[in-house]
Amino acid sequence: MKILILGGTSESRNLAAAVNEEPGIEAVTSLAGRLADPVLPVGQTRIGGFGGPSALAQWLLQNSIDVVVDATHPFAATIGTHAELATRLTGTALLVLTRPPWKAGEGDRWTSVASMPEAAASVTPGSRVFLTIGRQGVHHFAHVEHSWFLVRAIDRPDGPVPPHMTLVLDRGPFDERHEATLLAEHRIDLVITKNSGGDMTRAKLDAARATSVPVLMVDRPARPTAASTVDTVDAAVDWLRNRLLAAI
Ligand code: NAP
């Protein structure tokens, strides 16, 4: 059984490593090519966009793909839609692997917003903001002149950026102590993040809770799907095993 893993997440790398051990399954992971120095998964990889849903469909046929696993980031909505269309066009099976969103608990001071522009509009003048949304959305805050931003990303944002900003280039995972020190050193009074979910980047939320710093949480884009959906790598491997058994 030949599978295409749409990647760019830790789950996709864990899945590639897991299926590498599975007899009868051959996997190739696809990355968008956004990062200058990506962490590569075990096994075969291809890098770069396909050129839209029809081109993805053609790629699936040319490479005799039996199953697509969409293990992309919950905020990568376009490739998810393309995967739906391309698998429907070609009659290829689709499995969506997506981590559960974070949920506010006791002591959290979260306000949910639906989008980056809404988050930008919600910043109170004079704020000292820890903006931890990756580099792609930073341009939404470029017009916010009344506050100061600590922006953390793996690579430098390439669009416009806020006028009062310090950039930290760093890659997680981070622990709570690291995050609490960052919040204290920069006298942060607001954290802006998106609801990515997962353990790799949640320490900033634990630190914000422990220090009573409020969080503006950007909700995930809606991603309706008719495909089977799982939220752990183990469940994805089980699903693939069952599919393989059914085909024998
Ligand atoms: P997106 O908006 O959903 O996709 C934009 C375009 O990038 C797609 O139309 C596709 O180009 C290409 N693309 C995206 N993921 C791809 C993949 N895995 N393999 C090949 N092409 C891909 O995606 P995005 O938000 O820019 O994210 C890009 C990648 O970074 C994703 O793979 C995602 O898993 C990872 N990532 C995203 C975030 C985030 O916050 N958005 C965070 C961490 C990691 P074509 O139409 O030309 O095929």
- Residue-wise pLDDT tens digits, 112-137: 999 999 999 999 999 999 999 999 99
Q: Give residue 224's pLDDT band: very low, low, confident or very high (50, 70, 90).
A: confident
Give Cα 10 distance to the centre of its chain: 9
Question: In this structure, are 197 and 238 located in the same domain?
Answer: no
Q: Give residue 111's pLDDT band: very low, low, confident or very high (50, 70, 90).
A: very high
- pLDDT score of 248 more than 80: no
pTM over cut 0.85 = yes
What percent of the chain is predicted at pLDDT more than 90?
Answer: 94
Say what the pLDDT of residue 106 is. Answer: 96
Please state, in angstroms and rounded to a whole number, the distance separating the CA atoms of residues 104 and 77: 23
- Ligand 1 pocket check for 32: Cβ under 6 Å: yes
Q: What is the CATH number of the domain that holds 158?
A: 3.40.50
Q: Give residue 9's pLDDT band: very low, low, confident or very high (50, 70, 90).
A: very high
Question: In this structure, are 71 and 89 located in the same domain?
Answer: yes
| Burial grade of 192 (CB within 10 A; 0-12, 13-18, 19 or more) | buried
Q: Give residue 47's pLDDT band: very low, low, confident or very high (50, 70, 90).
A: very high
Atom of ligand 1 at shortest range from CA of 73? 34
Instruction: Let me know the angle formed at the C-alpha of 153 by 151 and 159, rounded to the nearest 5 degrees.
Output: 75
- Ligand 1 pocket check for 72: Cβ under 6 Å: yes
Mean pLDDT of the residues in the chain: 96
Q: Give residue 214's pLDDT band: very low, low, confident or very high (50, 70, 90).
A: very high
* Segment 166-186, tens digit of pLDDT: 999 999 899 999 999 999 999
Please state, in angstroms and rounded to a whole number, the distance separating the CA atoms of residues 56 and 62: 10
Q: Give residue 149's pLDDT band: very low, low, confident or very high (50, 70, 90).
A: very high
- Ligand 1 pocket check for 6: Cβ under 6 Å: yes
- Ligand 1 pocket check for 49: Cβ under 6 Å: yes
Q: Beta strands of 67-122 (E only): which ranges?
A: 67-70, 93-97, 110-113
Question: In this structure, are 55 and 133 located in the same domain?
Answer: no
Please state, in angstroms and rounded to a whole number, the distance separating the CA atoms of residues 237 and 230: 10
Give distance in angstroms: CA of 128 to centre of ligand 1. Answer: 30
User: What residues make up the domain containing 52?
Assistant: 2-100+222-247
Within 10 Å of residue 154's Cβ, how many Cβ atoms? 16
Q: Report yes or no on 105 lying in a domain.
A: no
Check: CB of residue 203 under 8 Å from CB of residue 174.
yes
Question: In this structure, are 142 and 206 located in the same domain?
Answer: yes
Say what the pLDDT of residue 247 is. Answer: 84
